[in-house]
C-alpha cells in the first residue's frame, strides 16, 4: 500500500503564487484567506508546504505523463505510430517553441522551484517550540533536493535556463536572462550537498516516498557523471565517489531486489532497490488542475502501450532492442529474464493484456513495451483511468541497479579497466543469471557497461540522455530507426528542447535555443 501520497493541498496555491497587485490591495489582510502573513507560523505549516512542493512532480504535465513522453520518445529505441503531435513531434525532433505540451512541462518545473525557494526562506524563520530542529532540517533538505532535481532536468533537457533561487515578488522579477549552464550545474551540486547533510537515510512508513540521503547522493553522482559527458568536465572520480557511498550501504539501505521484475509493478514499490520514485495513486478526477483533485494516476501508460491496446496511437520498439536481449543466454541457456519484463515480442507465452502476442499482432515482427504496463486481470487496454482501470504504478527515477552501472562507468573512466567497475557490472548481471564479463581493458569494458544499460534500464527514461552524454546523437538516432515518422528530422541544436515561445515573447532577455531559430 502506498502510504505517502504526493497530493498538493489546495490552500497552498495561495502561498506560492506570484501576484501582481496594487499597493492598496496588498495592505489589506483578509483573515479568512491564507496568506504568507498568517501561514508561516507553525511546524504544521512547514509540513504542508513541503508536500505542496512535491506536488508538480506527479501530475500529468510532469512525470505523470509529459516528462515520460519527452524523455522516452526521443531515444533510438522507440518508434511511435504517428497520430498525435505529442508523440510524433517528441520522437522525431519536430517539437517547436509554440508546442502546447512543451509549455506544460516547463511550467511544472518552475512551480516546484518557486515552492522550494519559498520554503528555504520561510521555514528557518518559524518559531514553534514543537517544531524540532531535526524536522526543520529534513524539510529544508527536501526543498534543496527538489530544487536540484528540477534544475537537473531543466539543464539536461533545455540547456539554457534562468537560475532563480529566491521567490519572485513581482512579475518583473520573473524576467531573467538564462544563466550559463555551468552556473546551473554548480547550483545543482551545491543544493545536493546541502540535501545530503540534512536529509534522513530513511523515513517511517507514514512518509515512504519522500526524498532521502540516498536520493540526494545518487543524483549528485549522476550530476557529476552527466557533466563529464555533456560538458567534458572529467568529474568521473567525483561521480564514482558519490556512488560508492551508496554501495557501501548495500544490505542495509540499498540492495538489488531478488528479481528484476520486482521494480515495475505496484506491489513492491519504494523497495530496497529504489532511491527515488514518483508516487502515483488512483485519483482520476482532474486534468491540469493544481489542487488535491488533480489527476495523479500513471497517465503515461497509454503512451507506452502498443497499437490496438491503447486509447492513443501506440508505440513500437525498434527491433535492435529485441535482438540485444536475444543475443546471449543465461548461464542455464535461457533467454535473459529481463526481456520478459521489458518488451513484448513473438515468443510463446507472451501476453498483451489478456490475449496472446500471436492474437494481438498480425505482423509477428512487432516489438512493444512491456515494462511498466499494468496487466491486471480484466484490463484489456491502457487508458487514463476514466474507464475504471487507472494505473497506479510509480515511475522509478533512480534504483540501485542504475547506481551500480553508473558507478561502473564512472570508475572505468577514472581508472581504466578497473576491477571494481567490472565487479559492479557483474553484480547486476548475476541478479539475472547472466554470464559474468571478464574484460579489463577500458574500451571493451566501456562498451559492455553501455550495452548493460540497455538490458537493465531501457524504457526507464535515461536512454536519450545516455546517448547525449556519450556524444552519439545524431549518429545513433537514424532516419531508418524513426521510419514511422519519415525520419528523425534531426538538426544541430535540437538535442535540446526549445524554450516555450511564451517565454521568448514576454521576456526580452531571453533568446531561443539554437536549432529553433
The structural domains of the chain, ordered by start, are: 10-300+492-506 (1.25.40.390), 302-395 (no CATH)
User: In this predicted structure, what is the pLDDT of residue 25?
Assistant: 34
Give the pLDDT mean for 488-507: 91
Give the pLDDT mean for 58-65: 90
Residue 27 has pLDDT above 70, yes or no: no
Residue 328 has pLDDT above 60, yes or no: yes
Q: Which helix (H) or strand (E) holds 368?
A: strand 368-369
2: left (phi over 0), alpha (psi -120 to 50) or beta: beta
| DSSP designation for 460 | S
User: In this predicted structure, what is the pLDDT of residue 479?
Assistant: 86
Q: How confident is the model at residue 247 (pLDDT cuts 50, 70, 90)?
A: very high
The C-alpha cell 533510438 sits at 76
pLDDT digits (tens, 9 = 90+) for 391-417: 899 999 999 999 999 999 999 999 999
User: In this predicted structure, what is the pLDDT of residue 33?
Assistant: 52
pLDDT digits (tens, 9 = 90+) for 465-495: 999 999 999 899 988 888 877 778 888 899 9
Residue 56 in 3-state DSSP?
helix
Residue 285 has pLDDT above 80, yes or no: no
CA atoms within 13 A of residue 458's CA, in its CB half-sphere: 25
Residue 169 has pLDDT above 60, yes or no: yes
Q: How confident is the model at residue 364 (pLDDT cuts 50, 70, 90)?
A: very high
Residue 30 has pLDDT above 60, yes or no: no
pTM of the model: 0.93
Residue 32 has pLDDT above 60, yes or no: no
Give the pLDDT mean for 347-369: 96
C-alpha cell at 207: 512518509
Which residue has better confidence, 294 or 333? 333
Give the pLDDT mean for 26-30: 46
Q: How far apart are CA 467 and CA 226, in angstroms?
A: 11
User: In this predicted structure, what is the pLDDT of residue 8?
Assistant: 37
Q: List CB contacts of 397: < 8 A, sequence separation 6 or more.
A: 63, 215, 275, 276, 277, 278, 461
Residue 18 has pLDDT above 50, yes or no: no
pLDDT digits (tens, 9 = 90+) for 183-199: 999 999 999 999 999 99
User: In this predicted structure, what is the pLDDT of residue 35?
Assistant: 66
User: In this predicted structure, what is the pLDDT of residue 440?
Assistant: 81
C-alpha cell at 517: 531559430
Residue 29 has pLDDT above 70, yes or no: no
Give the pLDDT mean for 44-67: 93
The pLDDT mean for the chain works out to 89
Give the pLDDT mean for 82-97: 79
User: In this predicted structure, what is the pLDDT of residue 287?
Assistant: 66
Rounded percentage of the chain residues whose pLDDT exceeds 90: 71
Residue 292 has pLDDT above 90, yes or no: no
Residue 101 has pLDDT above 90, yes or no: no
Interstrand relation of 274-278 and 395-399 (parallel, antiparallel or unpaired): antiparallel
Amino acid at each position: 500500500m502506498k502510504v505517502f501520497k504526493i497530493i498538493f493541498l489546495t490552500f497552498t496555491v495561495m502561498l506560492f503564487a506570484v501576484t501582481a497587485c496594487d499597493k492598496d490591495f496588498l495592505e489589506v489582510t483578509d483573515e479568512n484567506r491564507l496568506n504568507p502573513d498568517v501561514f508561516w507560523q507553525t511546524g504544521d505549516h512547514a509540513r504542508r508546504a513541503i508536500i505542496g512542493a512535491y506536488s508538480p512532480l506527479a501530475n500529468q504535465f510532469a512525470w505523470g505523463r509529459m516528462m515520460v513522453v519527452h524523455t522516452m520518445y526521443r531515444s533510438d529505441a522507440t518508434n511511435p505510430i504517428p497520430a498525435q503531435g505529442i508523440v510524433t513531434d517528441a520522437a522525431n525532433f519536430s517539437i517547436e517553441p509554440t508546442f502546447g505540451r512543451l509549455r506544460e512541462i516547463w511550467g511544472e518545473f518552475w512551480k516546484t522551484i518557486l515552492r522550494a525557494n519559498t520554503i528555504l526562506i520561510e521555514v528557518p524563520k518559524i518559531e514553534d517550540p514543537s517544531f524540532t530542529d531535526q524536522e526543520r532540517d529534513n524539510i529544508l533538505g527536501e526543498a534543496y533536493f527538489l530544487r536540484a532535481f528540477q534544475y537537473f532536468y531543466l539543464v539536461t533537457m533545455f540547456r539554457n535556463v534562468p537560475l532563480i533561487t529566491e521567490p519572485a515578488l513581482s512579475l518583473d522579477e520573473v524576467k531573467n536572462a538564462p544563466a550559463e549552464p555551468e552556473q546551473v550545474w554548480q547550483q545543482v551540486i551545491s543544493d545536493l550537498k546541502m540535501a545530503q547533510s540534512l536529509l534522513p537515510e530513511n523515513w517511517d512508513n507514514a512518509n515512504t516516498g519522500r526524498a532521502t540521503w540516498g536520493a540526494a547522493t545518487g543524483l549528485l553522482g549522476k550530476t557529476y557523471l552527466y557533466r563529464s559527458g555533456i560538458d567534458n568536465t572529467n568529474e568521473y572520480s567525483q561521480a564514482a565517489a558519490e556512488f560508492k557511498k551508496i554501495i557501501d550501504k548495500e544490505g542495509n539501505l540499498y540492495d538489488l531486489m531478488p528479481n528484476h521484475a520486482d521494480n515495475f509493478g505496484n506491489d513492491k514499490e519504494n523497495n530496497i532497490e529504489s532511491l527515488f520514485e514518483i508516487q502515483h495513486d488512483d485519483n482520476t478526477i482532474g486534468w491540469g488542475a493544481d489542487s488535491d483533485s488533480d489527476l495523479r494516476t500513471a497517465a503515461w501508460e497509454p503512451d507506452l502501450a502498443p497499437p490496438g491496446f491503447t486509447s492513443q496511437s501506440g508505440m513500437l520498439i525498434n527491433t535492435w532492442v529485441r535482438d540485444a536481449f536475444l543475443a546471449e543466454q543465461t548461464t542455464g541457456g535461457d533467454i535473459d529474464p529481463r526481456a520478459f519484463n521489458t518488451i513484448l515480442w513473438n515468443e510463446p507465452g507472451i501476453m498483451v493484456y489478456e490475449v496472446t502476442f500471436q492474437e494481438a499482432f498480425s505482423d509477428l515482427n512487432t516489438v512493444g513495451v512491456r515494462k511498466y504496463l499494468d496487466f491486471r486481470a480484466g484490463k484489456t487496454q491502457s487508458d487514463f483511468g476514466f474507464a475504471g482501470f487507472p494505473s497506479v504504478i510509480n515511475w522509478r527515477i533512480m534504483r540501485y541497479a542504475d547506481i551500480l552501472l553508473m558507478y561502473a562507468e564512472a570508475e572505468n573512466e577514472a581508472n581504466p579497466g578497473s576491477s571494481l567497475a567490472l565487479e559492479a557490472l557483474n553484480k547486476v548481471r548475476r541478479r539475472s543469471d547472466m554470464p559474468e564479463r571478464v574484460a579489463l581493458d577500458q574500451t571493451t569494458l566501456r562498451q559492455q557497461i553501455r550495452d548493460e544499460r540497455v538490458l537493465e534500464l531501457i524504457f526507464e527514461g535515461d536512454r536519450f540522455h545516455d546517448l547525449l552524454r556519450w556524444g552519439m546523437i545524431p549518429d545513433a538516432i537514424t532516419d531508418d530507426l524513426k521510419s514511422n515518422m519519415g525520419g528523425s528530422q534531426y538538426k544541430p541544436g535540437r538535442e535540446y528542447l526549445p524554450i516555450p515561445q511564451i517565454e521568448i515573447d514576454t521576456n526580452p532577455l531571453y533568446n531561443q535555443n539554437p536549432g529553433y531559430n
